[in-house]
Structure 1
Amino acid sequence: MSVPASASGVAAPAHATAPAPSPAPRNVPALLVKLLAEDFTGAVEVSGSPGGTIHLRLGLVIAVDTPNAPSVETLLIRSGRIDEAGWAAAVTQRATAGEAADVDLNAVLTGRGLIGHGELEAVCIAAVYDAAFAMALSPAEGWTVHEAAVPPELVTCPGESPRTLAEETTRRINALTQAWGAPLAELAAVRCRPAARIDPGALSTRRQAVLLAANGRRTPRDIAFFLGCGVFPAMQDIARLRARRLVEWEAPRTAALPITARVTTPAEVQVGGTHILPRRTRRDRHGENGAGSETTEGKDSS
């Protein structure tokens, strides 16, 4: 029986072993690194509470959508960078242009003078990092990769490296955890309000705005959407305001547990781990001098 030979003339094994498949990514950052190596273009839908969608172009992250963080549109309008009328006019112009290759929302916004190209790019990049941080506050339950996914119109170009994005997200989580001194789930859910006596004049403009927006009903996420800022800056400001005792809030009330154990009365006696009632007594109506006397049943008379 002949043995197949390789092109170099060296005998090859009769039964070549197929290469072992690469292990499945253990988490979302590892998945993004894998997709970067594959120059993947599409989206990763992450399930969780609330989860989100990560858009990629040639493996680079160009946008992140999640209900936990403001979108680029919200950041632009709520912050006052672009007024609502100007935004509506730009969207209408973009829709009228149809599928024209040289007309996108980015070009319309800058072409109308509503915002500079550099500032718009900075907002898009900030939105990517903030949304990634907001998604990392809750664990991912799984993911689905979509090759044919339509990205948002306002994206960063060319995109952000998944490794850099993961490193910055970790840095932000560690910094906030250290500043807050407790799990970030507590900070993310807190509904604070200004302290009774404060001097807001000593604060920066941004922290004054956060302090005024903290009305006892808004979470840091709500404040971010209300002001048109990132969730991370809002949480960071609240942590620093607390350190200066400028905000306060009520701790969540814990419901009282139902009492299911048998209530022990002081008169009960515990013998050998068993609760017993005291022995009954009977009154002798014919004691000495006609006075009643008490005797205890079962008492040793000796």
Structure 2
Amino acid sequence: MTYPLVFIDGDQGTTGLQIHERLRGRDDLRLLTLPAGQRKDPRARAEAINSCDIAILCLPDAAAREAVASIVNPDVRVIDASSAHRTQAGWTYGFPEMAEGQSQRIASALRVTNPGCYPTGAISLLRPLAKAGLLPDNYPITIHAVSGYSGGGRAAVETYEGPDAAQALPFQVYGLELAHKHAPEIQLHAGLARRPIFVPSYGAFRQGIVLTVALELDLLAPGTDIETLHATLQEHYAGARHVEVLPLAESSALKRLDPQALNGTNDLRLGVFGNREHGQVLLAAVFDNLGKGASGAAVQNLDLMLGAATAVQQAA
């Protein structure tokens, strides 16, 4: 039996290195990477991508588009970890728990776009509520998130771990122009009628995310309370292997959220926190920006795609 050939294009970046590490030692696939001297050679890259079964693109957006444009082999399947195709028609959004049947769509897709790290948390919280009709179309959503500095890629890692690390800011808010590229992705895949306000930030820790969305109960659909919001999330993710919705009693006992709590995993933890007196709710997601927010999600999607291929081979 010939095992599927998986080509990682951009395996020296933060996400690519983690994907490579997660796949190392697997005996159900073969890994293909380019030697250092050929990584920027268009001909070598085109030859590699057209010879593989599944290509995982860990590239800047423009380079990811070029890589896809170089594909002439109709059997090559792609997982794009960049943001180049996340809102583009013809690409399957690689968030298996997002909707019923999404895992099956990913398993059979030719083109899969890996979600962004922040959008993974925002969509996981908002899409089930929007689908259930709990969020009015005119509700102004504001999303706050803090990530480890690895979310900024190699340049940010160098800032915090390089020779000038002592001068790195302990905390910084960015995206002040309110034009972050994740906002359209969140709006589309969360099913929001209005563009959300997205306020991202980095802390002086390597990886991990806490993302929060604050809601006013009296502005939601009539009759919506803390229990309704929690039950909607719990029902949506019932049976999901990698998504946990904290019980309300456990959430109410928490005094703080640790963005690093799920580092090294592909898990996503959701919580609903509320103040009944003031009629306010805080939705929260905790996960690893390099796990469920990047490399972990890519490997999860790869396993779905490999499973579909294996099923087809066995059926034949």
Q: Quickly name the TM-score band, shorter chain normalised.
A: under 0.3
By percentage of residues, which structure has more strand? 2
- Bigger radius of gyration, 1 or 2? 1
Q: Which one has more relative contact order, counting CA pairs under 8 Å at least 6 apart?
A: 2
TM score, norm. by length of structure 1: 0.21
TM score, norm. by length of structure 2: 0.21
